[in-house]
Amino acid sequence: MKANLRNLISILLSLAALAFIFVLNWQTPAPFPDPLLWVLFAALLAYTTMYGIPIGVGEVSLVPMVALTAVFTMGILPAAAAVTASDLFYGFYRWNWPCLLYTSD
> Is 22 in a helix, a strand, or coil?
helix
Backbone angles phi, psi at 54, to 5 degrees: -70, 130
Q: What is the pLDDT of residues 33-91, one digit of tens each?
A: 788 998 999 999 988 888 877 787 777 888 888 888 898 888 888 888 888 888 888 87
With contact defined as beta carbons under 8 Å apart, do 52 and 59 qualify?
yes
Q: How many CB atoms lie within 10 A of CB 62?
A: 16
